[in-house]
A = this chain, B = another copy of it.
Amino acid sequence: MRTSQLLLATLRETPSDAEVVSHQLMLRAGMIRKLAAGLYTWLPMGLRVLRKVEAIVREEMNRAGAQEVLMPAIQPAELWQESGRWEQMGAEMLRIQDRHARDFCFGPTHEEVITDLIRNEMRSYKQLPANFYQIQTKFRDERRPRFGVMRAREFLMKDAYSFHVDEASLQQTYDAMYDAYARIFTRLGLEFRAVLADTGAIGGSASHEFHVLAESGEDAIAFSTESDYAANIELAEALAQAGERPAPTEEMKTVDTPNQHSIEALSAYLNLPASRTVKTLLVQGIEDDSVVALVLRGDHELNEIKAEKLEQVAAPLTFATPEQVKAAAGCEPGSVGPIGLNCPVFVDRSAAHLADFVCGANRDGQHLTGVNWGRDLADGIVVDIRNVVEGDPSPDGQGTLQIKRGVEVGHIFQLGRKYSEAMKALVQDEAGKAVLMTMGCYGIGVSRVVAAAIEQNNDARGIIWPAAIAPFQVALLPLNAHKSQRLRQAAEELYEELQAAGFEVLLDDRKERPGVMFADMELIGIPHRVVFSEKGLDKGEVEYKGRRDSDNQYIPLAQIAAFLKERLQ
């Protein structure tokens, strides 16, 4: 394509209302324009990328045996009432009345519609398993839409729903979807992790999120340096250091620690690393006015989700009042320690692994040093109640954990029978008995992938597209072409040759200054660039530069086509 035939709506300035880099660059590169809060038009440049993402998703869903369908965006309230979600869904669901005052919504998801379809079409276990997907426009009325298409109100999603006669069949399709997602994000050229996710309120049996790694990501994820293990930081299992707990070497002593209420202050005051101290947090127990002690290493953070799962701890997690602390420990919160508490004591694995540690003395202004489990106090109940940190052993025993931030772009989920039960979606099993179907669901935020790819791949000059989703593969820049017939001709010939070979080429035939052309093509992020200049042609050569390269290469004009074809294959 020629730039003269393309709406090349690049901007020099960073729009002031764009907070994240993908939003800034999508506006600046002329990929999207805002219509209203959370509503974006995809311009030709952006749509080329979106369609490439869509095509890869479609190919891999088909390859995995999923069947494409297309369900309406507008859904009748009756189905949501049947599943119970008409009331549950909050203001994020866009509710609509038609001309006859009947209730509808703009579907934020399609579990109800597909379950209604399948309960009518499927009769027998012989028709199962079956997996249906669509690539379709969804709407979620976010209270505060922002970050461009990363968290838009209207967005393009691939959603799939599978139906099974039993859990074993669900697990097979779930695994196939896991593999398909891995292939999709690999083909997209993105660094990603599939992470174990919390199944939350829906209570399915398994769930994985797929995250594109990017510093700006909303979620922190932990993953192994050696294996495929990855999990949302809230969910990653925290192990103690390897090996046995060291034997005691010190005597327990009381030290005065006036006004040292935080771990940081204490460890500075005692000139000890925070990892040699423990902190003792008192939280509400399940019985009225009861408290429970949670003991963690001083440098670790409490994981509230894990703590809430302890049977003796009240949910939501609530810290004890100063009065309760006084009653249980006899001191202010800053001096609480695990010795002599009259409440249950849960000790995080890493805290339980310490010897000769420091803890509060349960007397204001005093701590104990050289404390040892088993000798100075009972062992307590050892549990996992902290967030993992970098360097922790990986829970699968392979390597240690790294922590990075990620943008969630996919989610696979074992739904079980939540919807089939509510909506009476039955089939006959092999024995002729009517059974509820078991379901899975599998989403990819197609438009969000485009933003995530940019969050992961950019520099000060603009976007750096992975090859598979670049809007064009090659940019040809004939400089000051209006002044030189031979220069135009050389560029046109290469353009024609590459196009004929099936490559996607953008020929910049605008009458612009070289600086503008360079800046635009780097901003747009086209992977390969060829510059035609009079000076170069005098020497019979052109300049080639890959978008990630730091230097130009000078390639003989006669060889540039072959050179590019080799790189583009």
Q: Could you list which residues of chain A lie within 8 angstroms of chain B, going by C-beta atoms?
A: 5-7, 9, 33, 35-36, 39-44, 47, 50, 65, 67-76, 91-92, 94, 96, 98-99, 104, 106, 113, 116-117, 120-121, 130, 132, 137, 139, 141, 143, 153-154
- When chains A and B are docked, how far (Å) is the Cα of A74 from the Cα of B318? 42
- Within 8 Å by CB of A5, from B43, B65, B106, B113, lies B65
Q: Which residues of B contact A139 (CB under 8 A)?
A: 73-74
Are A67 and B6 interface neighbours, CB within 8 A? yes
Q: Which residues of B contact A67 (CB under 8 A)?
A: 5-7, 44
- When chains A and B are docked, how far (Å) is the Cα of A240 from the Cα of B200? 79
Are A68 and B47 interface neighbours, CB within 8 A? yes
Known A-B contacts A117-B33, A137-B137; the reply to A73 vs B73 at CB < 8 A is yes
- Within 8 Å by CB of A69, from B36, B47, B65, B91, lies B47
Known: A36-B75, A74-B94. 14 other contacts (CB 8 A): A5-B67, A35-B116, A36-B72, A39-B72, A42-B69, A42-B70, A47-B68, A50-B70, A74-B153, A74-B154, A92-B99, A94-B96, A99-B143, A137-B137
- When chains A and B are docked, how far (Å) is the Cα of A40 from the Cα of B68? 15
Are B72 and A43 interface neighbours, CB within 8 A? no
Are A71 and B35 interface neighbours, CB within 8 A? yes
Are B106 and A74 interface neighbours, CB within 8 A? yes
Chain B: CB-nearest residue to A120: B33
Q: Which residues of B contact A44 (CB under 8 A)?
A: 67-69, 132
Q: Which residues of B contact A39 (CB under 8 A)?
A: 72, 74-76
Q: Which residues of B contact A40 (CB under 8 A)?
A: 72
Find the residue from A5, A41, A44, A76 having the highest chain B CB count within 10 A: A41
- When chains A and B are docked, how far (Å) is the Cα of A69 from the Cα of B117? 32
Q: Which residues of B contact A72 (CB under 8 A)?
A: 35-36, 39-41, 154
Are A69 and B96 interface neighbours, CB within 8 A? no
Return A189 CB to nearest CB of chain B, in Å.
23
Q: Which residues of B contact A76 (CB under 8 A)?
A: 35-36, 39
- Within 8 Å by CB of A141, from B9, B99, B117, B120, lies B99
- When chains A and B are docked, how far (Å) is the Cα of A42 from the Cα of B132? 11
- When chains A and B are docked, how far (Å) is the Cα of A70 from the Cα of B69? 20
- When chains A and B are docked, how far (Å) is the Cα of A44 from the Cα of B72? 14
A-B pairs with the 10 shortest C-beta distances? A42-B70, A91-B99, A39-B72, A44-B67, A36-B76, A41-B71, A99-B141, A72-B154, A96-B96, A9-B121
Q: Which residues of B contact A35 (CB under 8 A)?
A: 71-72, 75-76, 113, 116-117
Q: Which residues of B contact A65 (CB under 8 A)?
A: 5
Are A98 and B137 interface neighbours, CB within 8 A? no
Return A389 CB to nearest CB of chain B, in Å.
39
- When chains A and B are docked, how far (Å) is the Cα of A488 from the Cα of B15? 63
Are A70 and B96 interface neighbours, CB within 8 A? no
Known A-B contacts A35-B113, A68-B44; the reply to A73 vs B141 at CB < 8 A is no
| Sampled A-B contacts (16; CB under 8 Å) | A33-B121, A35-B71, A35-B75, A35-B76, A36-B76, A39-B76, A40-B72, A41-B69, A41-B70, A42-B71, A44-B132, A73-B137, A73-B139, A94-B96, A94-B99, A98-B141
Return A323 CB to nearest CB of chain B, in Å.
41
- When chains A and B are docked, how far (Å) is the Cα of A139 from the Cα of B104? 13
Chain B: CB-nearest residue to A141: B99
Q: Which residues of B contact A68 (CB under 8 A)?
A: 44, 47
Are A41 and B73 interface neighbours, CB within 8 A? no
Are A113 and B74 interface neighbours, CB within 8 A? no
Q: Which residues of B contact A143 (CB under 8 A)?
A: 99
Q: Which residues of B contact A69 (CB under 8 A)?
A: 41-44, 47
